Amino acid sequence: MNFLLLAKELGGQFLESGEVLNYPGIIKTTGVEFESVMEKQLKFNEVEPKTGEEVKKIEKINDGFTVTTDKNRYDARTLIIATGARPRKLDVSGEYEFAKKGVTYCSICDGPLFFGMDIAVIGGGNSALEAVDFTKDIAGKIYLINRGKEFNAHEYLIEKVKSYENVEIIDQADTTEILGDKFVTGLKYKRNGKMHTLEVGGVIIEIGRIPNTDFLKGFLELDEHNHVVVDCRGKTSVEGVFAAGDCASGHEYQYVISAGQGCMALLKSARYLANKKL
């Protein structure tokens, strides 16, 4: 097959993951180590990704599709969409002002910057608890601010986080403002109708992800959360287009699921091309 792997950058979710404990055949690794192994496998199979380009639009043409990036145009007979997802924002005062100045969405990337500082982690899912787990030996005190009453995460993660002496859990709390001067100095949250202020030097926001599918609106059918609608074979609403991973419907964000969906999409796209030649 003559194929092209287009990517704005390699790594994606790998670069934001802490411990990986649930991938078959791998007892324990980190996202960064896992990404390194995958990159070596690409090189072994002589796959040279074209990076540094962002897809802006896809159009149907007579015998396939035209993919338009911010730099070039490419024609293809079949497509696999695997664009993943990006962090969801709080959209509160100070969040954008102090981005990369104490506000981060990636504990793996920026956690070491908070050495010895008191920090806040905002969220109640797996990614938030993973952020706490990663920074527990880096930060001073960690305030885990959860909007809900319970965590929506794996039980083993919940047990681990609750056992850490330097973690204080604040549930049923809405973060309303991030404070700072040149860098983050604190945040405000509302709980039981009362406003509270915390003095922290860093804020890690982990409140979910938004699929990277904006460029597909009007081209593919998306669900109510803007994930690409796919069937069990990875087929989308447009013949010849397949999707896999966090950008696709399914709402179960696991590496093993993304890998399986990617494999299915590749096999079905190859069969689609073979049938077109008959």
Q: Specify the DSSP class assigned to residue 227.
A: P
Reduced to 3 DSSP states, what percent helix, strand and coil does the chain have, rounded to the nearest 5?
Answer: 25, 30, 40
* C-beta of residue 262 within 8 angstroms of C-beta of residue 245: yes
Distance CA 76, CA 5 (A): 12
Bridge partners, residue 178, by sequence: 187
Catalytic residue numbers read 106, 109-110
Which one, of 274, 104, 275, 277, lies nearest residue 206 by Cα?
Answer: 104
Outline where the chain has alpha helix (H).
31-44, 107-110, 126-135, 155-163, 255-277
